[in-house]
Amino acid sequence: MMKNSVKLKGRLKTYMQSSLYLGLLLVAVDILIYMIDYRAGLVLSGFIIFYIAIILSMMFYNKPVIMNELVSFATQYGQIQRRLLRDLELPHALLDDAGKIIWTNIAFEKVVHQEKGYRKSVTSLFPSITKDKLPGMNGEDEVEFDLEYESGNYVAKLKKISLKEMAENSDIIEAKGYNGYLIALYLFDETALKIALKEVDDQSLAVGLIYLDNYDEALESVEEVRRSLLIALIDRKVNKYIASMDGICKKLEKDKYFVIMRKEAALQLQENRFDLLEDVKTVNIGNEMAVTLSIGMGLDGLSYTQNYEFARNAIDIALGRGGDQAVVKMPVNVVYYGGKSQQVEKSTRVKARVKAHALKEIISVKDEVYVMGHRLGDVDSFGASVGIYRVAKALDKKAHIILNDVTSSMQPMVEMFRHNDEYEDDMIISNAQALEMAGSNAVLVVVDVNKPSITECPELLKRCKSVVVLDHHRQGAEIIENATLSYIEAYASSACEMVSEILQYISDNLKLRPEEADCMYSGIMIDTNNFMTKTGVRTFEAAAFLRRNGADVTRVRKLFRDDAAEYKAKADAVSQAEIYREAYAISVCTGEDVASPTVVGAQAANELLNIKGIKASFILTPYNGIIYISARSIDEVNVQVIMERMGGGGHLNIAGAQIENGSVEEGIVAIKRTLDAMIEEGELEA
């Protein structure tokens, strides 16, 4: 029965039957010879009978032997294949459709340090390869993973192997609707490649720029005969530090250094959190003011030129954020270090005069002026917008202020202009109106913000070819690019202070109206918390200028009186504050019956700083589906860096962030985690 069931097929069957076919051909030839010569035909007939008999007997008796030999060969061939797979130097394993290991080769067993017969899930060996990531589970037939196993780096390739055809040709099982499969797992060792690539990457060039923030001020604070010694000590400190990192430092100007080093050394600087920033402050030969540095580093650029451009952008960001910090710029992200010192206010207003003249020239050649602040505008942004409006009017230009949502704190000031016959009806317009009205020869002035995504009308930034930025917030990674004029001073108390200085250089006979002076004075007062924070000589000079132009302190105070609901909401937020780590106050401002809960939240954050021992305060305010975080500090903590880790930004003492698609509880947890992480990293003091 077995003999009849085993049959040859294909080319081997044709080859074995070829002798029989040849015998049939001889029969045909014999018939032809019979027609020619009868006796020759008889001789050939005898030969043919003998030939066919021999062939049939060989086929009958030798076929089982041949079949046995073929089966034996196939068996041995299968064993050889299996042995080759077992001995294959590429780590290889077979998994079932659930990820359970059903077969491994020797190389795989050596990698995972398991003996033959290991039958657990692949996740037990490689936790990152979970069941939902296997081929077949995620809709893909082949997937790849980068794995780190013990001290090696591997690329794991998993491929789906369908068993459908095998099942359909089987005589044992029914194959209809069968979709079973196995998963082949291959491990490619890339440890040596990763090490080589890392070595090459570590040797790549990193470019840096080091600027002395307060060079002139520091020299003025020491007697003249010792100034050269102070400069020499600073030069020695900087050069020695860079040389210890196997880098080269070249002094470009009296207060600027150019640095090149290997990327490995730059990473070491990052690991040390650029301790040169603190080290240089120890240089003291009687100077009343400590010297501070700003460092900009460029890494991972496609060329040396790009790394240099990264370094230039990084140093600009560091200076724009107030100095005394290091910024590392890479193609995909920007990292900040330091920034714990408040930037020193410049006593000279030369820069303000230069910027004012540049702004005057830009507006003079334009047909119309559009002014906008940040989304959910506050008193400072509106007051600065009113100041720029007056600049445009002094130059006989049509001007519009873009304002969408008006908060309760701004409502009294906005009403002073909307219902005033001295001002045009289109003085204050919305986004849609601005986009419709803006012509090709218009200039857009952005005040109190330098982050394009949170401006009142981001689309207008692309529409207007001329853009001017006036802001007092520290710069972050996201900036308004290609601005015609950018005036960002982190030491300024408010945007209204900056605009007040500009107004004094636009025209000799420029005169503000009382309501305009009130708005700008209000902006300074709110951003300085009634002249208690971030106030300098120039802040009071700007306030004095506004006072001379008709600003009335009593009127301004009446504008900002709270109603009963707002006062209760603020008191409730303060009373329920949680003191975290004995230094950080965290609370929530619900403001359900308040028109502008975010403003009340910011006021509550200021109030919490009056508690002894509080270094920083955080108020979370849910509003329109977004959690707004107001962060405040006095001098010990840089809340800007804390908020930047949560996607926000701001000032050293005043900052904020927004959480979308999250709850208040999640926001509190995020703040605590951020504080814990920064304390562990040494960024904050415990």
Q: How confident is the model at residue 238 (pLDDT cuts 50, 70, 90)?
A: very high
Whether 510 and 380 map to the same domain: the answer is: yes
In a domain, 344, yes or no: no
In CATH, what number is assigned to the domain containing residue 423?
3.90.1640.10
Domain with 254, as residue range(s), is 205-338
- What's the pLDDT score for residue 605? 94
Higher pLDDT among residues 229 and 77, named by residue: 229
Q: Of 27, 59, 87, which residue is a domain's last?
A: 87
Task: Judge whether residue 348 has pLDDT over 80.
Answer: no
Both tokens of residue 466? 């001329």
Task: Judge whether residue 60 has pLDDT over 60.
Answer: yes
In a domain, 345, yes or no: no
- pLDDT tens figures, 316-342: 888 877 788 899 999 888 888 887 665
In a domain, 53, yes or no: yes
Whether 540 and 418 map to the same domain: the answer is: yes
- pLDDT tens figures, 499-514: 999 999 998 888 899 9
In CATH, what number is assigned to the domain containing residue 656?
3.10.310.30
- What's the pLDDT score for residue 445? 96
Whether 234 and 312 map to the same domain: the answer is: yes
Q: Of 164, 197, 230, which residue is a domain's last?
A: 197
Both tokens of residue 158? 């998993």
- What's the pLDDT score for residue 471? 92
Q: Of 175, 197, 219, which residue is a domain's last?
A: 197
- What's the pLDDT score for residue 589? 94
- What's the pLDDT score for residue 1? 39
- What's the pLDDT score for residue 3? 43
- pLDDT tens figures, 240-259: 999 999 999 999 999 999 99
Total-model pTM = 0.59
In CATH, what number is assigned to the domain containing residue 286?
3.30.70.270
Cα–Cα distance for residue pair 518/327, rounded to 1 Å: 39
Cα–Cα distance for residue pair 361/371, rounded to 1 Å: 17
Whether 535 and 640 map to the same domain: the answer is: no
Task: Judge whether residue 71 has pLDDT over 70.
Answer: no
Task: Judge whether residue 35 has pLDDT over 60.
Answer: yes
**φ, ψ for residue 505 (rounded to 5)?**
-115, 0
Helix (H) or strand (E) holding 674: helix 664-680
- What's the pLDDT score for residue 165? 60
Count how many domains the chain has. Answer: 5
Whether 492 and 553 map to the same domain: the answer is: yes
Question: 607 CB contacts (<8 Å, ≥6 apart)?
Answer: 570, 574
Whether 180 and 108 map to the same domain: the answer is: yes
Whether 209 and 326 map to the same domain: the answer is: yes
Mean pLDDT score of the chain, rounded to an integer? 86
- What's the pLDDT score for residue 344? 53
- What's the pLDDT score for residue 276? 92
| Residue of 293, 294, 331, 295 lying closest to 310 (CA atoms) | 331
- pLDDT tens figures, 529-546: 888 877 888 899 999 999
- What's the pLDDT score for residue 368? 93
Whether 627 and 529 map to the same domain: the answer is: no
Whether 542 and 578 map to the same domain: the answer is: no
Both tokens of residue 220? 């003025």
Cα–Cα distance for residue pair 365/466, rounded to 1 Å: 11
- What's the pLDDT score for residue 498? 94
Q: CB count, 10 Å around CB of 433?
A: 14
Burial of 149 (0-12, 13-18, 19+ CB in 10 A): middle
Higher pLDDT among residues 98 and 437, named by residue: 437
Whether 409 and 486 map to the same domain: the answer is: yes
Burial 332-357, CB ≥16 within 10 A → b, else e: eebebbbbbbbbbbbeebeebeebbe
Question: 56 CB contacts (<8 Å, ≥6 apart)?
Answer: 20
In a domain, 343, yes or no: no
Through-space distance between the first and last CA atoms of the chain, rounded to whole angstroms: 88
- pLDDT tens figures, 73-128: 666 666 777 777 788 888 988 888 888 888 888 888 888 888 888 888 888 888 88
- What's the pLDDT score for residue 166? 57
In CATH, what number is assigned to the domain containing residue 188?
3.30.450.20
Task: Judge whether residue 12 has pLDDT over 80.
Answer: no
**Ordered DSSP codes for 70-89:** HHHHHHHHHHHHHHHHHH-S
